[in-house]
Amino acid sequence: MNQPRPRAVGIDLGTTFSAVACLDDLGRPQTLNNGEGDKLTPSVVFFEESEIVVGKEAVKAISTAAAQVAECAKRDLGNRMYEKVLGGRQYPPEALEAWVLNKLRIDAEHQIGAFDKVVITVPAYFDEVRRKATQDAGYMAGFDVMDIINEPTAAAIAFGFQQGGEHAIAAADGMCRILVYDLGGGTFDVTVMEISRDQFVTLATDGDVRLGGRDWDQRLVDYVAEEFIRRCGVDPREDPNTEGRLWRECEDTKRTLSARSKANVACDYKGQAVRLEITRQMFEEMTRDLLDRTAFTTRQTLQAAGLQWSDIDRVLLVGGSTRMPAVCEMLQSITGKELDRSVSPDEAVAHGAAIHAGLLLERHHGQAPRVTIKNVNSHSLGVVARDSATQRQRNAILIPRNTSLPVAAKRIFKTHKASQKSILVQIVEGESASPDDCSQIGKCSVRELPPGLPADTPIEVGFRYAENGRLTVTVSCAGKELCHEIQRDNSLTQEQLASWRQYISGR
């Protein structure tokens, strides 16, 4: 008997909010509501004594039990531990992300039945370590992560799908060049792509994994707190619960300021209360430098793609923070173009992920691929080498950023002395010449080189980025593979992952 084909499910795992979409019977993406009936689930985890609560209820706890609440764990991916101690212990950030994903899975299963195959999105600017951590979080939540896909690429796919194909979106040469400006809760990405009905090709990407709506909130929080100190002599941020309430108030005020020219924010602490009127102009002035950073990166990305503004057909806005009027004004002024708001900024990424999941499932069932997706690497890949002139360690770049994926590179290392027993290759991502300023991916070490090798024996180290930005490394000598594993400092072992999976998802 034929097995029913698995549902195509895509997940936008956001810093502040997450969303799940699934293809309906006609192959159209639909956002699934969570257990509370909302399309967006706050990516917040509350450790309530023996229970772990995720989403809206966890957000409420920020005002009363802030010390037990984990927010923005996505920003800590790639670190060994999440910054905060929760319920007496520290957790790896991917475990906190896994709890968010687990809630999304349980809620989605109530609507579409059991499933495990998913595509999860990541910021285009995520480095390899964060990409792996996201895949690991998916595994720990009980999923079979078929792929990870860049958020702007997913948004572009949703856009292409919605426009109904080539005739609607393509310029005269059959291609449409789009710039995707994606400002979410915690990350910023800008990506230039060429798209047609069946091809999504990234030309250049740049961004900041620590810049998003949250930073705009922080400015308001700090402004109100400073004003409170000036008037009342105490800092409301010294108490975590008061600070938590203030954050919620400020985020709400920020949203109001997207629709109105002024809003009020209230703060009370230690029996004293302050109510402030904030105008949109004040808010824009206190956050101008954040916006300028995104403008700078946007111009740079266009340049990296080798294009002018006149080459861009559409500017696509993605991410909840693009609702701020200042974002549109800035983009209109630097691009000289009308902005495209045709995709829902909150749902486009999840929709694109679901469409990608559908295409992957078709391919698993032997159907010819209908769409080609081509990405670039967002960070240069290098190895740590010793500069012969200065004897200092430096980053020897092997694959420069914005190289089309998949891509392979190799480097020959030579043994220094006869009968050398081991070699060590340290792998980094980043643009800096100093390895200390780069992201440390890990090491590839061979401890048992074949015995009796003469000095200067070539050892070949091969690097390969897959389409989704994940890296594999192989070390070989005289055509024989000696090693294909990267030892990662900040990553969980397979046994740890399996045990977290059992603990979090029961699978």
Q: Which of 7, 8, 16, 446 binds ligand AMP (CB under 6 A)?
A: 16
Catalytic residue among 76, 97, 182, 217: 182
Q: At closest approach, how far in Å is the CB of 349 from ligand AMP? A: 7
Of the pair 128, 346, the CB lying nearest ligand AMP is at: 346
Q: Cβ(377)–Cβ(407) under 8 Å? A: yes
Alpha-carbon gap, residue 230 to 126, rounded angstroms: 40
**Following DSSP, what letter does each residue of 222-285 receive, concatenated?**
HHHHHHHHHHHSS-GGGSHHHHHHHHHHHHHHHHHHHHSSEEEEEEEETTEEEEEEEEHHHHHH
Positions of E strands within 66-198: 69-70, 85-86, 89-90, 117-122, 144-150, 176-183, 188-195
* 323 near ligand AMP, rule: CB under 6 A: yes
Q: Which of 10, 138, 320, 469 binds ligand AMP (CB under 6 A)?
A: 320
Residue nearest to ligand AMP (CB): 213
Task: Supply φ then ψ for residue 111, to 5 degrees.
Answer: -95, -40
| Binding residues among 326-365 for ligand AMP as defined by CB under 6 A | 346
Q: At closest approach, how far in Å is the CB of 15 from ligand AMP? A: 6
Buried b (16+ CB within 10 A) or exposed e, 90-125: ebbbbbbbbbbbbbbbebbeeeeeebbbbbbbbbbb
Let me know how long the chain is.
Answer: 507
Q: At closest approach, how far in Å is the CB of 259 from ligand AMP? A: 7
Active site residue 74: yes
Q: One-letter amino acid identity for 269?
A: Y
Catalytic residue among 76, 97, 151, 243: 151
Q: Residue for token digits 């977290």?
A: 500
Q: Write the secondary structure of 339-356 as one string of H (helix), E (strand) and C (coil).
A: CECCCCCCCHHHHHHHHH
Q: At closest approach, how far in Å is the CB of 31 from ligand AMP? A: 12
Bridge partners for 319 per DSSP: none
Alpha-carbon gap, residue 425 to 443, rounded angstroms: 6
Of the pair 131, 323, the CB lying nearest ligand AMP is at: 323
Of the pair 351, 401, the CB lying nearest ligand AMP is at: 351
Torsion of CA 220, 225, 231, 236, to 10 degrees: 150
Q: Which of 68, 205, 298, 321 binds ligand AMP (CB under 6 A)?
A: 321
Q: How many residues bind ligand AMP (CB under 6 A)?
A: 19
* 97 near ligand AMP, rule: CB under 6 A: no
Q: Residue for token digits 């860049």?
A: 150
Q: At closest approach, how far in Å is the CB of 282 from ligand AMP? A: 15
Active site residue 268: no
Of the pair 160, 213, the CB lying nearest ligand AMP is at: 213
Span from 134-142, 155-163, 319-327, 484-492 in contact with ligand AMP (CB under 6 A): 319-327
* 55 near ligand AMP, rule: CB under 6 A: no
How far apart are the two ends of the chain, measured CA to CA in Å?
Answer: 26
Q: Cβ(23)–Cβ(115) under 8 Å? A: no
Q: At closest approach, how far in Å is the CB of 347 from ligand AMP? A: 9
Bridge partners for 465 per DSSP: 407, 471
* 93 near ligand AMP, rule: CB under 6 A: no
What's the angle, vertex CA 171, arms to CA 168 and CA 176, rounded to 5?
A: 85
Q: At closest approach, how far in Å is the CB of 16 from ligand AMP? A: 5
Q: At closest approach, how far in Å is the CB of 215 from ligand AMP? A: 9
* 184 near ligand AMP, rule: CB under 6 A: yes
* 17 near ligand AMP, rule: CB under 6 A: yes
* 10 near ligand AMP, rule: CB under 6 A: no
| Binding residues among 195-254 for ligand AMP as defined by CB under 6 A | 212-214, 251, 254
Of the pair 111, 258, the CB lying nearest ligand AMP is at: 258
Annotated catalytic residues are 12, 74, 151, 182
Q: Which residues bind ligand AMP (CB under 6 A)?
A: 14-17, 184-185, 212-214, 251, 254-255, 258, 319-321, 323-324, 346
